[in-house]
Structure 1
Amino acid sequence: MPRSYASAVLDAPADDVWSYLRDFGNLAEWMPGVETGVIEDGGPSDRVGCVRRLIGPGNSVFRERLSGLDDTERTYTYEILECPLPVRGAHGRIRVSPVTETGQCFVEWSGEFSADAGDEEAMEKTLTMGIYAPGIGALRRRFG
């Protein structure tokens, strides 16, 4: 199963970054290219099982279900239910870890998916360089 990955050190405490990121419904606030985002049933955005609906470039629709949330490990996992990309069975994970020596934090965003053989390499690059890395870059700017 192909895997995409991006990471960075942010100049902010892990607890501060996690407090912001654990809100599964706020992706449109910080993710470049996401125009709107809502939790479909209007329920809490930290409830495992909630579904966020995101509208991206060209009115593209992404629907993702929160499949796990762990405040101790500062991690959430999600599965992609609908997206315009040629991927199947996709799921992702965001994790925030403290950098104890400096008081900063380490943020990583990863995902796995299935795709036709001819699409795998392009989708690995698209997820890493077109979604995960720009998202982490936006978080770096947000948290200074």
Structure 2
Amino acid sequence: MPKPYASAVIDAPVNKVWEAVRAFGAIADWHPALDTCVLQEGGDHTVGAVRRLTAGDAVFVERLTGLDDVAFVQTYEFLESPFPVRRYHATIRVAPITASGQAFAEWWADYEADEAETVRLTPFFRDAVFAAGLAELGEYARKR
């Protein structure tokens, strides 16, 4: 099973970074690839909430499957996606860097797809989705 992964040191306190991540319906505020994000069911901090994302003509529907305010972990899954994947489950985790007051953020996913698709999608998810998102999350958290 492929597991795209990205991480970043963010020059902002963990609480500011987590505040941005945990707002499930506000990811378009900081992710550069997204045009819109609308909650279709539930609230920002409600496990089971469903969001609809657009990126150009692409539409994604995702469900929040876990939210842990102690461990700073959010998990979600694809309900609908333009990508040819199955059983896509993603995790974003934020941790304090106690020596510097910064935050360490990591984002990864597990999914199933045909082998030819994983060769294309794994680096795409890693670079264009996770790494790009974490870079902008850092900028967004620093400005708050």
- Residue 45 (structure 1) shift: 1.2
Q: Is 1:116–2:114 an aligned residue pair? A: yes
- The match for 1:47 is 46
Paired residue secondary structure (1:80): strand
Per the TM alignment, residue 20 of structure 1 is displaced from its structure 2 partner at its CA by: 1.9
8 Å contact from structure 1 (residues 87, 123) kept in 2: no
Between the two proteins, what is the percent identity of the paired residues?
Answer: 43
Q: Any stretches of 5+ residues in structure 1 without a counterpart?
A: none
- The one-letter code of the counterpart of 1:108 is E
Aligned to 2:14: 14
Question: 1:12 & 1:33 partners in 2: Cα distance?
Answer: 22
Residues 9 and 107, structure 1, Cα contact 8 Å, conserved in 2:
yes
Runs of 4+ deviating beyond 6 Å: none
Gaps of 5+ in 2: none
CA deviation vs aligned residue, 1:109-141 (integer Å, no higher than 9, x gap): 100100001111211011001100100010122
Partner of 1:95: 93
Preserved CA contact (<8 Å) 1:8 1:108: yes
Q: Which residue of 2 aligns with 1:85?
A: 83
Which TM-score applies when normalising by structure 2?
A: 0.95
The aligned amino acid for 2:6 is A
Q: Is the 8 A contact 1:5 1:128 kept in 2?
A: yes
With 88-97 and 13-22 compared, the bigger mean Cα shift is at 13-22
Please state whether the residue corresponding to 2:125 is helix, strand or coil: helix
Verify the 8 A CA contact 1:10 1:107 in the aligned structure 2: yes
Q: What do residues 58-93 of structure 1 show as CA deviations (whole Å, max 9, x unaligned)?
A: x21100000000000000100111111111110100
Instruction: Give RMSD over aligned pairs.
Output: 0.9
- Equivalent-residue separation in structure 1 for 2:75 and 2:141 (angstroms): 22
> Which residue number in structure 1 is paired with residue 127 of structure 2?
129
1:40 aligns to what SS in structure 2?
strand
Distance 1:8 1:33 in 2: 18
Give the 3-state SS of the residue equivalent to 1:65 in structure 2. strand
